[in-house]
Amino acid sequence: MTKMEIALLEDSPADARLIKLHLEASGHNCDIYSTGNAFKKDFEERRHDIVIIDWELPDISGDHILHWIRQDMNNDLPVIFVTGRDSTEDIVAMLDAGADDYMTKPVNLVEMLARIAALVRRSLSGRKNTEVIEHHPYTLDFSCHRILIDDKEVMLTPKEFELAGYLLSNIGDLIPRETLLREIWGYGPEIQTRTIDIHISRIRKKLALTEQNGWKLTSIYHRGYRLERLPSE
């Protein structure tokens, strides 16, 4: 097991102690920050492998911290967002801001460890793919994570790009949900999450994967997903 340095932004002392105890019992180090400003002050002095952020902090919001990490510090440090909010709009906002994953409260600590392990595996095994694939009107450049529709760039989050790339690389195939969890998020089949469904819905809209445009992206209950190019009339 890889020992990780984990930053935990949590303003509840009881919750913070419980999570820290569980993480350290599993062989990780965990630094607790009860405010966002305390974390920001320590950011460049302490190296962390993963950050766990509670949305509700007493001084500045968790989404502000996430934006600061991604935009101001230009850092791709893996981030897990923890929140009591579970609406699709809130989850989408977190993912759009650059969160790698989210968990809703009360947190299942065993599941948290599984998600941390998944992010670690992805971080350590990441490889730069220089492939370019084309399926008119789409062009995907994996070297710079860009996707074009008829030479016009479409802005996708990193996970949306990975998912779109996987689907467009396997046109016509039924891709099991477990495969996408493993290949895109690094999760095992025991993880229960709405992340895939939200991302599927968003790339369907952003890439106009509709029958009117000659494409069909289907969710097949309890089986998986299939992207098909429809025959031209």
- Nearest partner of 103 among 63, 138, 41, 52, judged by Cα: 52
- Three-class SS state of 76: coil
pLDDT tens-digit map of 107-154: 899 889 888 887 776 665 544 455 888 998 999 998 888 899 998 999
Does 59 have pLDDT greater than 90? yes
How many CB atoms are located within 10 Å of the residue 111 CB? Answer: 15
167-179 pLDDT per residue, tens:
998 898 899 888 8
Please name each of the domains of the chain with its CATH number.
5-125 (3.40.50.2300), 132-229 (1.10.10.10)
Percent residues over pLDDT 70 in the chain: 92
- Going along the chain, which residue ranges are E strands? 5-9, 29-33, 50-54, 79-83, 101-104, 132-135, 138-141, 146-149, 152-154, 174-176, 215-220, 224-229
Encoding tokens for residue 88? 């699709």
